[in-house]
C-alpha cells in the first residue's frame, strides 16, 4: 500500500491471526470465532478514534465488519453476504452477518450481477447493495508464453506449507516449464526445487502480474481475490481449496461450470504423485 500510494498517510490496524490446522480445519475455525467477534469490537473503537482525529468525509471498509462510524458515510466492500448452512451455527451466523452489513450506508459487491463469480455467496436482500464489478490490481497483457504451469501459493500457515509440500511432491514432465511463487520468506522446505525453472519467495505486484500473464495454466487456492485476478487476466486455473474453508470449496465447485476452471481436492494429491500431470494432460490439454 505504501509503495502504491507513497503520498497517502498509512495507519496500521491489528488483524486477527487465524491459524489453519492440518486436521479438523472447520472445527478449529469455529473455535476461533470469539477472536473474530472481538476484532470487530476493536475495529469499532479504532475507527471511532480515527474519525475524531482525522475527520474523514468517507469510510470504505474492505471486508472489516466493524469499520464504520455512524456520523460518517460508511461503505462496506464484501462479496459474501451468505453463510453456508450449518445445523449448529448457520442461522445465528447469517443473522449476525446481516446485522453487521446493515450498519453501513452502502454495501458494494465486487462482482457482476449478470454472471457472478461469487455465486450464491453474494445473494441477499440488502437495500444498500450495489454491484461494482470485479476488482483486480492486474490487467491482461499481450505477451509471449514463458511458463507452462505457475504454482501460486498464498494463505496462512500451516496450510500454505502443506500446499507447498504437496505440490513439490508431484511429478511433472521434465520439459514442462514450471515456476513457483511461494508467497513467503519462510525457510524453504527440505525438498527438492531442482525440477522447477524458477522459484520466487515473495514477489512484487508487477512481478506477479507478469508471471500470471506469461503462464498457460495457474495452480492455486480458490480465494476470491485470486479468482477475480484470474478472471480479469482470462487465465485457466486448477483450484485446490484450503481444506475446511467452505467459501473456497464452494467457489471452486461453482466455477467448474466455466470452461477455464478446474477443481482438485488437496487430499487426493497425497494419493497419486502423477495426479496433476495426468489431470493437466487429459482435462486442460497441456501436452505431456
In angstroms, the CA 183 to CA 152 distance is 8
pLDDT values of the chain reduced to their tens digit, one per residue, 288 residues: 777 888 999 998 887 666 655 555 555 556 667 778 888 999 999 999 999 999 999 999 999 999 999 999 999 999 998 876 555 666 777 888 899 999 999 999 999 999 999 999 998 888 899 999 999 999 999 999 999 999 999 988 889 999 999 999 999 999 999 999 999 999 898 778 988 999 999 999 999 999 999 999 999 999 999 999 999 999 999 999 999 888 999 999 999 999 899 999 999 999 999 999 999 998 777 765
Closest CA to 266 of 182, 180, 183, 169: 169
Q: Which residues share a beta bridge with 10?
A: none
CATH of 147-284, one of 3.40.50.2000, 3.40.190.10, 3.40.50.970, 1.10.3720.10: 3.40.50.2000
pLDDT at 288: 57
pLDDT at 130: 96
Q: What b-and-e string marks burial along 128-153, b requiring 16 or more CB atoms within 10 Å of the CB?
A: ebeeeebbbebeeeeeeebbbbbbbb
CA dihedral (226, 232, 238, 244) in degrees, to 10, reads 30
Give the dihedral sign, CA 190/191/194/200.
Answer: negative
pLDDT at 181: 98
pLDDT at 14: 80
pLDDT at 94: 82
- According to CATH, where is 3.40.50.2000 located in the chain? 147-284
Contacts of 269-273 spanning 24+ positions with Cβ under 8 A: 269/166, 269/167, 269/169, 269/170, 269/240, 270/166, 270/169, 273/169, 273/170, 273/171
In angstroms, the CA 47 to CA 171 distance is 50
pLDDT at 121: 93
Amino acid at each position: 500500500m505504501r509503495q502504491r500510494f507513497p503520498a497517502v498517510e498509512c495507519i496500521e490496524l491489528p488483524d486477527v491471526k487465524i491459524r489453519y490446522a492440518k486436521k479438523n480445519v472447520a472445527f478449529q475455525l469455529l473455535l476461533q470465532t470469539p477472536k473474530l467477534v472481538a476484532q470487530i469490537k476493536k475495529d469499532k473503537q479504532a475507527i471511532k478514534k480515527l474519525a475524531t482525529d482525522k475527520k474523514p468525509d468517507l469510510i470504505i471498509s474492505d471486508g472489516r465488519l466493524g469499520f464504520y462510524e455512524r456520523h460518517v458515510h460508511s461503505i462496506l466492500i464484501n462479496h459474501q453476504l451468505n453463510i453456508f448452512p450449518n445445523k449448529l451455527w448457520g442461522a445465528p451466523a447469517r443473522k449476525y452477518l446481516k446485522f453487521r452489513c446493515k450498519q453501513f450506508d452502502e454495501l458494494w459487491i465486487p462482482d457482476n450481477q449478470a454472471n457472478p463469480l461469487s455465486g450464491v455467496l453474494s445473494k441477499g436482500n440488502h437495500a444498500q447493495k450495489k454491484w461494482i464489478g470485479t476488482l483486480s490490481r492486474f490487467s491482461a497483457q499481450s505477451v509471449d508464453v514463458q511458463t507452462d504451469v505457475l504454482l501460486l501459493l498464498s494463505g496462512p500457515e500451516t496450510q500454505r506449507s502443506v500446499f507447498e509440500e504437496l505440490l513439490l511432491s508431484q511429478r511433472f514432465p521434465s520439459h514442462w516449464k514450471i515456476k513457483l511463487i511461494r508467497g513467503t520468506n519462510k525457510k524453504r522446505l527440505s525438498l527438492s526445487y531442482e525440477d522447477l525453472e524458477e522459484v520466487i519467495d515473495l514477489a512484487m505486484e508487477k512481478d506477479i502480474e507478469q508471471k500470471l500473464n506469461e503462464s498457460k495454466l495457474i495452480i492455486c487456492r480458490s480465494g476470491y481475490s485470486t479468482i477475480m485476478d484470474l478472471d480479469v487476466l482470462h487465465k485457466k486455473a486448477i483450484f485446490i481449496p484450503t481444506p475446511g474453508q467452505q467459501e473456497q470449496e464452494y467457489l471452486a465447485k461453482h466455477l467448474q461450470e466455466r470452461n477455464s476452471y478446474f477443481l482438485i481436492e488437496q487430499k487426493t494429491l497425497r494419493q497419486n504423485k502423477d495426479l496433476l500431470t495426468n489431470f493437466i494432460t487429459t482435462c486442460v490439454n497441456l501436452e505431456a
